[in-house]
Amino acid sequence: MKRIFSYTITAQDSDQRIYDFLCHHGYSRHIRTWLKQHPGSVRLNDKEALFYFPLKTGDLLEITLEEEQPSENIIPVCLPLHIIYEDEDLMVIDKPANMPVHPSIGNYENTLANAVAWYFQQQNIPFVFRCINRLDRDTTGLLILAKNMLSGAILSDQMKKREIHRIYLAITEGKTDPAGTINRPIGRADQSLILRQVDPDKGDPACTHYLQKCWHPKTFYPATLSVPQDGLSLVQLQLETGRTHQIRVHMTSIGHPLIGDTLYNPETALLARQALHSYRLAFTHLSPEFPWSLLHPSLQIWQNCSRNIMRKYFYDVVVQKIQKRSEKCFFTFFRSFYFSHDISVYPTEFPCFPTLRESAVPLPHADIC
């Protein structure tokens, strides 16, 4: 995949070397090494340039990144792929349940990576799979994929610095508090490769904020459903850290495990998978068409949820009466996706997020296969 980045040098960036400019604009050591090894990939005013060349106001700097070989050991497979948004630098995909993100032992052809490889193979475009935020096999919702070396480096750095804001929806057992913060270290459970647990002594720091959206008592549902005695809560969660199974472990630790989570809630009977959905992302786009030094555009991507969450999870088992009742009070609808060009604009409803500005532009999306 070939990508050309063009920069018109401003007064603020003049009188510095190309090397310093690239460092400031997110080009990692790996990318800088690649540029040195590929003559002609750095051009200044339409002439080949070296890293030590100085920049002046009005200069045109062009950086060409090109990858000729796709990711190894990822077999292209035609699988359903719901693309929420795509441009030259990134993709946002709505991952379904029962689909791992990466191939693993015994599962080489039923992953998101296989589906993406097929998508680009049909366009004769070599593609290196770079997933920025990962989801468990049965967790649904939004994932970011970087399409080139630079977007991968910048978005990975944002992830490391906790600048990619992720909000989830979950259905939990019982009536949660209206809001709260769970700040408990998480570590691997003894003698288990998969199971995690709260571990104050050896665990890594982990912090989850939650907000109860609504609660329904047991009497709200048909007697035929195995609903917990204390009913069910729809909870919105924001992660400050990204530990394995963080939401599932934290909610279990406060007595409100996710329904369907057989790993941490073995007695659950309502679903065959955990009721967890990644529905909102906020991060800074890297496109050089936006002025980096003055205004970092913040890309808001809100999952387009046209059905309430109870219908989404209980569609095959909940009667029509319950579907209609829950539609009014069990979910908030988001009918489009949003761009915002103000770095201060992030999702609302958590103290660390200022108010969302009312400027919206629908984004393209496509269903593949």
Read off the pLDDT of residues 14-69 as tens digits, 9 standing for 90 and up. 999 999 999 999 999 999 999 999 999 999 999 999 999 999 999 999 999 998 78
Residue closest to 211 by CA, chosen among 254, 250, 170: 170
Query: 68-80: per-residue pLDDT in tens?
Result: 788 888 999 999 9
Rounded CA-CA distance 31/10 in Å is: 23
List residues with catalytic annotation: 136
- Would you tell me how many other CB atoms lie within 10 Å of the CB of residue 316? 5
Listed residue (153, 133, 129) closest to 144, CA to CA = 133
Which structural domains are found in the chain, ordered by start?
2-66 (3.10.290.10), 169-272 (3.30.2350.10)
Instruction: Dig out the tokens for 84 from the structure.
Output: 């929420």
Q: What is the DSSP string of 271-327?
A: -SS--EEEEEEEEE---TTS-TTT--PEEEEE--B-S-HHHHHHTTTS-HHHHHHHH
Residue where the block lists tokens 């009466």: 321
Structure confidence at residue 335 (pLDDT): 21
Which H or E element spans position 187? strand 186-188
pLDDT (0 to 100) of residue 287: 60
Task: State which residues of the chain have pLDDT below 70.
Answer: 287-369
Q: What is the pLDDT of residue 313?
A: 42
Among candidate residues 147, 143, 138, the one with its CA nearest the CA of residue 119: 147
Sign of CA dihedral 176, 141, 187, 351: negative
pTM for the model stands at 0.77
